[in-house]
Amino acid sequence: MKLLQEGVFLVAIFFFAYTQQLVKGQHQPRKDCQTKCGNITIDYPFGISSGCYYPGDDSFNLTCDEKQNLYIGNNTEVKTFNHSSQLSVMFNRFSFCNDEQRNSTNETLIGYRLGSSFSLSATNKFYLVGCNALALLSTFGKQNYSTGCLSLCNAPPVENGECNGVGCCRTDVTVRSDSNIFQYGSDRFVNQFNASEGQFKTSVYQFNPCTYAFLVENGQFNFSSSKDLKNLRNLTSFPVSLDWSIGNKTCKQAGSTSICRENSGCIDSTRGKGYNCKCLEGFDGNPYLPNGCQDINECTTNSSTHKHNCTDPKTCRLKDGGGFYCKCPSGYDLTATMNSTMSCTRPEYLRWTQILLGTTIGFLVLLIAVSCIQHTTKHRKETKLRQQFFEQNGGGMLIHRISVAGSSNVDVKIFTEEGMKEATNGYEESRILGQGAQGTVYKGILPDKSIVAIKKARLGDSSQVEQFINEVLVLSQINHRNVVKLLGCCLETEVPLLVYEFIPSGTLFDHLHDSIFNSSLTWEHRLRIAIEVAGTLAYLHSSASIPIIHRDVKTANILLDDNLTAKVADFGASRLIPMDKEQLTTMVQGTLGYLDPEYYTTGLLNEKSDVYSFGVVLMELISGQKAMCFDRPQQSKHLVSYFASATKENRLHEVIDGKVMKEDNQREEIKKAARIAVECTRLMGEERPRMKEVAAELEALTVKTTKHKWSNEQLMSGHILSAQGDTSSRGYDSINNVARFDIEAGR
């Protein structure tokens, strides 16, 4: 039972839906309908033949004749359709002609019968063209109405073009939905007026043989008295617009039975009965057809009536469900402009912000650009300068020499100015290791974390460039364990930089004379250092590929590493000093006490000058006294003369370093070493031994020492320290023997 009820209910629903569908769908025109007549496109609800026009009303039945003229009703020619509510048709004019004898053509009135769905639009006008004539328009229906006008003139109107009652008159047409039958015509009233007043009997016919009456859409006819009074320009029909509507019901009455399709709305007809359909805003097309109303792309359409009104087309956006809007970027307001477009404008305050921001950014960009250019210019200048220095300092020559010698033979690195700057942290003051007559030495840390000593060389003039390069090459090839290795150079600076191996423990000078090292060097150390230095000098004087004369042997140029191994520094660097007077003075000051007097007086340099200087170094090692000391008596300021006077007066023991003196068992060696030192410092270079001999003699001392020490150690059961401690207590006495040693005899 219940099932049956539900079934009935379902059937009812389907039936309802079906009928709804039928109501909505029944007005669809056939697919094969003729859509064109001539070049007029036929719009539904109009159509030719059954099934093509709106079936509820035969008024929409059209005929297309053989001449491709389209007719509505019996004789109304259609020109254009307006699918909202209007139709343009052609109505014939009425004309009535007669001559002076009042012989007239027999004209019948013009009449039209329209379908019940049509009525004359209010936009039409009723015209009369003619003189001394009247025209009448009659409509027939439930009530008969008539309207008309009259025109009076005896002569052609002076003014040409005004339809103002002289030669032409016109009147409005009142729309009546129930009157769709029209009749109109005109007549002269010559007869009536002729008798009473003679004025009309004049020759009106000559300039106006006929009178014309016609309906025309407003604006489609402009009266011209000179042309139209004669023959109305042979115009026999005029466009007239008709209003049409669907059915007799209002939208409200029609409700869901209205034939308006999707995206359209129903509007009550202006005729007073029936309704029309209209596409919704943002849609265009035929609202009586399925899918007739199409969404308009206002942003891209070319149709002037639907085009967007955004000033900038790029801001135009389509709305969901039709229509458009102008999308302004954030920070912009939409404003109506003078020419009825919508444009995006910045609010005043934002505009100022923008201007301010723009100016600031512009200024900054300019500033950056300027500084960039400055930087580039500076950089280019610096690069150029570096290049210039590099050439000036013999860089080209060096590279050429290296390439000739082969990189495996020459191990000299060419550092860049930038690399040097980085290594010394911009030539920081805390990195200065020493400052002297020959320049400043910096501690440098290379990118591979190795520590180097960077020294500014002094180059006098361009004539010395070749020599300088020579020396760089030669020195870089010296690979002696007691020589501070030259790693490379940098020629991009005004003053060339030399990069040396870094020796951490200070100079021999510091160890001997500086309190921080506490003069902790034993005689053994001192002798070894002397041997190492002597050996190195001998090697350089004879064994190296070309003899190298140090020229500035002094304790300050002898570095000591962690194991107190001697490293002779500044080889050949002193040769870089130009021999002008000022430099010489500086040098004499710097190395006063070590300078070979013969070399000083003659200016002739040979290897014996190094022997002299070494002699002074040896004396310094023995005595622990500085080469030049102003605390000593006038004649003994110079260590050499101090030694001389001490030996002369048999008090050499006074000269020997107290700490060394304590080491009793070395007394003999010290004596011998002192003799060697005195020999080295002989006034005449020829009388001095060669460096090789000096080295050999000193080495001979150690052989003995070692033997001696060995026997000592054996006695003391290897207790070296206590043995040394024992001997040192008696050291002072034993020096007397040394003092008696005739040093003077050696000179």
Ligand X SMILES: *[C@@H]1O[C@H](CO)[C@@H](O)[C@H](O)[C@H]1NC(C)=O
Nearer residue to ligand X within complex by CB, 77 or 744: 77
Task: Give strand pairing partners of 63.
Answer: 71
Contact region for ligand X (CB under 6 A) — 49-57, 357-365, 606-614, 718-726? 49-57
Sole binder of ligand X in the list 28, 92, 98, 116 (CB under 6 A): 116
- How many Cβ atoms from other residues are within 10 Å of residue 51's Cβ? 12
What CA–CA distance (Å, rounded) separates 583 from 594?
16
Q: Which is nearer to ligand X, 82 or 450 (CB)?
A: 82
Residue 336 makes contact with ligand X by CB under 6 A: yes
Q: Judged by CB under 6 A, which stretch of 128-136, 226-234, 427-435, 617-625 contacts ligand X?
A: 226-234
How far apart are CB 563 and ligand X at their closest, in Å?
4
Cα–Cα distance between 745 and 30 in angstroms, integer? 149
User: Sign (positive/negative) of CA torsion 344, 350, 351, 353?
Assistant: negative
Task: Return the residue of 36, 201, 233, 719 that touches ligand X, per CB under 6 A.
Answer: 233
742 phi and psi, to 5 degrees? -80, 90
Decide if residue 57 touches ligand X (CB under 6 A): yes
Q: Considering CB under 6 A, how many residues would be counted as binding ligand X?
A: 41
According to the binding rule CB under 6 A, does residue 302 interact with ligand X?
Answer: no
**Tokens representing 100?**
């002076």
Q: Which of 77, 268, 561, 668 binds ligand X (CB under 6 A)?
A: 561
- As measured in angstroms, the least distance from the Cβ of 691 to ligand X is 24
Asked if 106 is part of the footprint of ligand X (rule: CB under 6 A), the reply reads yes
Closest CA relative to residue 558, chosen from 569, 571, 550: 569
Q: Give the interface segment with ligand X, choosing from 385-393, 413-421, 556-564, 624-632 (CB under 6 A).
A: 556-564
Q: How far apart are CA 267 and CA 254, in angstroms?
A: 11
Q: Interacting stretch for ligand X, rule CB under 6 A, among 156-164, 214-222, 229-237, 314-322? A: 229-237
304: contact with ligand X by CB under 6 A: no
Is residue 425 a contact point for ligand X (CB under 6 A)?
Answer: no
Q: What is the DSSP pairing of strand 486-490 with strand 413-414?
A: parallel
Nearer CB in complex with ligand X: 16/145: 145
Residue 82 near ligand X by CB under 6 A: yes
Residues with Cβ within 8 Å of residue 25, at least 6 apart in sequence: none
Q: DSSP string spanning 682-747?
A: -SSGGGSPPHHHHHHHHHHHHHHHHHHHHHHHHHTTT-HHHHHHHHHTTHHHHHHHHHHS-SGGG-
Q: Is 208 in the site for ligand X (CB under 6 A)?
A: no
Which of 34, 119, 116, 114 is CA-nearest to residue 74? 114
**Cβ-based nearer residue to ligand X, 48 or 350:** 48
Contact criterion met (CB below 8 Å) for 225 and 212: no
Contact assessment for residue 489 and residue 498, using Cβ atoms and an 8 Å cutoff? yes
State which H helix or E strand residue 559 sits in: strand 558-560
> CB under 6 A: which stretch of 111-119, 156-164, 390-398, 457-465 binds ligand X?
111-119
Assess 39 for contact with ligand X (CB under 6 A). yes
29 near ligand X, judged by CB under 6 A: no
| Structure-token pair, residue 452 | 């180097």
Interaction of residue 50 with ligand X, rule CB under 6 A = yes
717 contacts ligand X (rule: CB under 6 A): no
Chain positions 234 to 263 lying near ligand X, rule: CB under 6 A, are 234, 247-248
The 640-679 site mask, x for binding ligand X (CB under 6 A), equals ----------------------------------------
What's the rounded Cα separation, in Å, for the pair 509 and 557?
A: 8
Q: How many CA atoms lie within 13 A of 319 on its CB side?
A: 10
Least Å distance, CB 355 to ligand X, is 20
Task: From 98-106, 201-209, 394-402, 678-686, give the range in contact with ligand X by CB under 6 A.
Answer: 98-106
* Residues with catalytic function: 552
- Choice between 186 and 343, CB closer to ligand X: 343
Question: Could you tell me the strand order of the sheet in which 94-97 lies?
Answer: 94-97, 210-217, 124-129, 168-172
Residue in the structure block whose two tokens are 């270079």:
685
Task: Give CA 569 to chain center in angstroms.
Answer: 54
Q: Does 341 bind ligand X (CB under 6 A)?
A: yes
Closer Cβ to ligand X, 448 or 562, answer by number: 562
**Alpha-carbon dihedral 312, 313, 319, 322, rounded to 10 degrees:** 120
- In the window 577-596, what residues touch ligand X (CB under 6 A)? none
Nearer to ligand X, 248 or 702 (CB): 248
CB of 585 to ligand X, least distance (A): 38
Q: Does 339 bind ligand X (CB under 6 A)?
A: yes
Minimum CB separation of residue 529 from ligand X in Å reads: 14
- How does DSSP assign 367-429, residue by residue? HHHHHHHHHHHHHHHHHHHHHHHHHHTTHHHHHHHHHHH-TTT---EE--HHHHHHHTTTT-G
| From 148-156, 331-339, 366-374, 510-518, span contacting ligand X (CB under 6 A) | 331-339
370 versus 451: smaller Cβ distance to ligand X? 451
Residue 702 exposure: Cα atoms within 13 Å on the Cβ side: 15
Distance between CA atoms of 663 and 521, rounded to whole angstroms? 12
Rounded to a whole number of angstroms, the minimum distance from the CB of residue 662 to ligand X is: 26
Residue 612's Cβ-side half-sphere holds a number of Cα atoms within 13 Å equal to: 25
Does 103 sit near ligand X (CB under 6 A)? yes
Residues 6+ apart with CB under 8 A from 114: 59, 72, 73, 76, 180, 181, 182, 242
Binding status of residue 337 toward ligand X by CB under 6 A: yes
Identify the residue among 135, 153, 293, 342 touching ligand X (CB under 6 A).
Answer: 342
Answer yes or no: are the C-beta atoms of 500 and 487 closer than 8 Å.
yes
Q: Pick between residue 64 and residue 457 the one whose CB is nearest to ligand X.
A: 64
Instruction: By CB under 6 A, tell whether 101 contacts ligand X.
Output: yes
Distance CA 652, CA 513 (A): 20
Q: Which is nearer to ligand X, 88 or 438 (CB)?
A: 88
Q: Given the rule CB under 6 A, which of 10-18, 54-62, 203-211, 736-744 is the region that contacts ligand X?
A: 54-62
User: Does residue 146 belong to the site contacting ligand X (CB under 6 A)?
Assistant: no
Question: Could you list the residues that contact ligand X (CB under 6 A)?
Answer: 38-39, 50, 56-58, 61, 63, 68, 73-74, 82, 84-86, 101, 103, 106, 113, 116-117, 140, 143-144, 231, 233-234, 247-248, 309, 311, 336-337, 339-343, 561-563
